[in-house]
Structure 1
Amino acid sequence: MPSFDIVSEVDKQDLRNAVDQANKVVSGRFDFKGSDSRIEQAEYALTLFADDDFKLDQVFDILNQVLGKRSIDVSCLDKGKIEKISGNKVKQTITVKTGVETELAKKIVKLIKDSKIKVQASIQGEAVRVTGAKRDLLQDTIALVKKSITDFPLQYQNFRD
């Protein structure tokens, strides 16, 4: 039976390259000369450092532009609160969301079942597996989920006949 998985993933190497490129842009900009503005990465957690709130927003905008150019969906970023560190310096932690959360997975399964398309959807860890008798039904399901779930980046993988 044909099947596919609905997942939400961000390639770690692409993310690392984007962070490196954003740091290069920040270090080369004239308005950041002499400031300690940078982005640090630990797995899927990014920490933005800057001298003040305005520069922190500028660093975040640069990161968004670079991620957009690398086709990483910026809606997977979850901004934390801005914290003051020594002096006027500030930092902000940004979490890169990966995996389909349980609530979203339940919402996707309910959406598929309510649509009356003859496919079965099941939650498998951080992914939703959709199985159907025909390939056309699976393609209809992908179109339905793409149209309905727009607030979270989803990918459709492991399409098997």
Structure 2
Amino acid sequence: MADSSFDIVSKVDHQEAENALNQARKEVEQRYDFKGTDASIEWSGEQILIKANSEERAKAVLDVFQTKLIKRGISLKSLESGEPFASGKEYRIVSTLKDGISSENAKKIGKIIRDEGPKGVKSQIQGDELRVQSKSRDDLQAVIALLKGSDLDIDLQFINYR
């Protein structure tokens, strides 16, 4: 019997992220407590740029954006935000969406599978994803449960389960 396998990935649906950003921008433009604060949120290349005239307002815009991401099913583990910094008279927060599993996180996940997972389960790094193989599908289910229960700082999806 052939080995069963699945892939571990960390992907962000960019269309959903775009929709969340547009919703956050509309809410910031319409909300009364943002009037006169020059608050805005927009794409700046691959990054998300949040601007406001005070640190509290910039954090509030980030909070609105995080709420929209959650409603659209995007984990906040995928969002990496910097600290607010002053640029002239405005405060800025630069955020990025993490896509793919970095090599150090892939090694960390592989180590968790080797140390705590069932015997006979093999994992290999393939670019920015991990392939997990085993003869037993129950062992693969146990690995998925193990990884969902572990406290990793990235959002994981399990795809191509065969």
Q: Same fold (TM over 0.5)?
A: yes
Q: Work out the CA distance in 2 between the residues paired with 1:108 and 1:44.
A: 26
The aligned counterpart of 2:95 is 94
The total of aligned residue pairs comes to 159
- In the TM superposition, 1:1-161 aligns within 5 A as 1-42=3-44, 44-86=46-88, 88-115=89-116, 117=118, 118-160=120-162
- CA displacement, residues 48-101 of structure 1 (integer Å, 9 cap, x when unaligned): 011110110110111111111111111222112323223x21111111111111
Instruction: Report how far residue 45 of structure 1 moved.
Output: 1.4
Deviates more, 1:47-56 or 1:115-124: 115-124
Could you tell me which runs of 5 or more consecutive residues in structure 2 were left unpaired when the two chains were aligned.
Answer: none
Contact 2:6 2:160 in 1 (8 A): yes
Helix, strand or coil at the partner of 2:27 = helix
Q: Could you state the TM-score of these two structures normalised by the residue count of structure 2? A: 0.91
Q: Work out the CA distance in 2 between the residues paired with 1:139 and 1:44.
A: 35
Contact 2:37 2:57 in 1 (8 A): no
Q: Work out the CA distance in 2 between the residues paired with 1:64 and 1:111.
A: 29
Helix, strand or coil at the partner of 2:160 = strand
Identity %: 40
- CA displacement, residues 9-60 of structure 1 (integer Å, 9 cap, x when unaligned): 1110000000000001111100111332111114541110111101101101
Q: Work out the CA distance in 2 between the residues paired with 1:148 and 1:14.
A: 26
Could you tell me which runs of 5 or more consecutive residues in structure 1 were left unpaired when the two chains were aligned.
Answer: none
Q: Could you state the TM-score of these two structures normalised by the residue count of structure 1? A: 0.92
Instruction: Report how far residue 152 of structure 1 moved.
Output: 2.0
Q: Work out the CA distance in 1 between the residues paired with 2:68 and 2:32.
A: 18
Q: Work out the CA distance in 2 between the residues paired with 1:44 and 1:22.
A: 17
Instruction: Report how far residue 116 of structure 1 moved.
Output: 5.0
Helix, strand or coil at the partner of 1:105 = helix
Deviation >4 Å, runs of 4+: none
CA RMSD of aligned residues (A): 1.5
Helix, strand or coil at the partner of 2:74 = coil
Q: Work out the CA distance in 2 between the residues paired with 1:44 and 1:156.
A: 25
Q: Work out the CA distance in 2 between the residues paired with 1:116 and 1:61.
A: 37
